[in-house]
Chain A
Amino acid sequence: VQLVQSGAEVKKPGASVKLSCTTSGYTFTNYFIHWVRQVPGQGLEWMAMVSPGVGSAYPQNFRDRVTLTYNTSTSTVFLELSSLTSDDTAIYFCARDQVSRRYVIPAAAFDIWGQGTAVTVSA
């Protein structure tokens, strides 16, 4: 099982960024994928989760700026974050649920992680 994320991005304030997480080694539609970010030197922040055919969820503070999509033919999940500010400068990780589930909440622990994508927002 592997999650491979897209490369580093540099964006200007106000722009959008679209990150990818390509999965392999398991049945893509059976597991939720989560996005977690980490501002340099700080902790982990959950941003969203999605599973094809089950649903998605977002915390309130990201609901208006995050769009999750997926491509089942390439087993890839995409995260698009809009209206970027310098506060969005962070490492963005995707992670897979530990167990297969057919409901949004409660979730599961994250047992497989991508390598992370650095996003820098600077004028």
Chain B
Amino acid sequence: EVVLTQSPGTLSLSPGERATLSCRASQTISSRFLAWYQQRPGQAPRLVIFGASNRATGVPDRFSGSGSGTDFTLTIARLDPEDVAVYYCQEYGSSPLTFGGGTKVEIK
């Protein structure tokens, strides 16, 4: 089972600042099978990034994903108040599919 560890637990930034979220895998995984989801309070998750670096339909271009091997990053270039949410990474190349514990992004 691939264990995904996300850091930091909480990120508190001002509007317009850059947010960098980390996801570390317990073993090497293919970047083809790494996704990021955004979950706003009281809502279902929403796909943001798939295949480590591909934006999902309708996702603003301030969101970008990168990484390979065991280290992956989600970057929000200029934080907007609507980006307040918990972000989860997910590995879907092997069974069981696993999620990281999440990073909460707050606005200062």
Chain B proximity mask over A16-53: 1 for CB below 8 Å, otherwise 0: 00000000000000000010100000011110010000
Interface size class of B (residues with CB under 8 A): 20 to 34
Chain A interface size range: 20 to 34
Chain B residues near A115 (CB, 8 Å)? 44
Q: Is A108 an interface residue (CB 8 A)?
A: yes
Q: Could you tell me which residues of chain A, from 38 to 87, have a CB within 8 Å of some CB in chain B?
A: 43-46, 49, 57, 59-60
Closest CB-CB distance, B21 to chain A, in whole Å?
Answer: 14
Q: B88 contacts A44, CB within 8 Å?
A: yes
**A122 CB–B CB distance under 8 Å:** no
B99 partner, pick from A46, A98, A111, A113, beta carbons under 8 A: A46
- Does A15 count as interface, using CB distance less than 8 angstroms? no
The answer, among A57, A93, A108, A116, for a CB contact under 8 Å with B95, is A57
In contact, A98 and B93 (Cβ under 8 angstroms): no
Encode B45-62 as 1/0 by CB contact (under 8 A) with A. Answer: 111001100001100000
A-B CB proximity, top 7 nearest: A59-B96, A109-B50, A113-B44, A109-B35, A106-B93, A107-B92, A44-B99
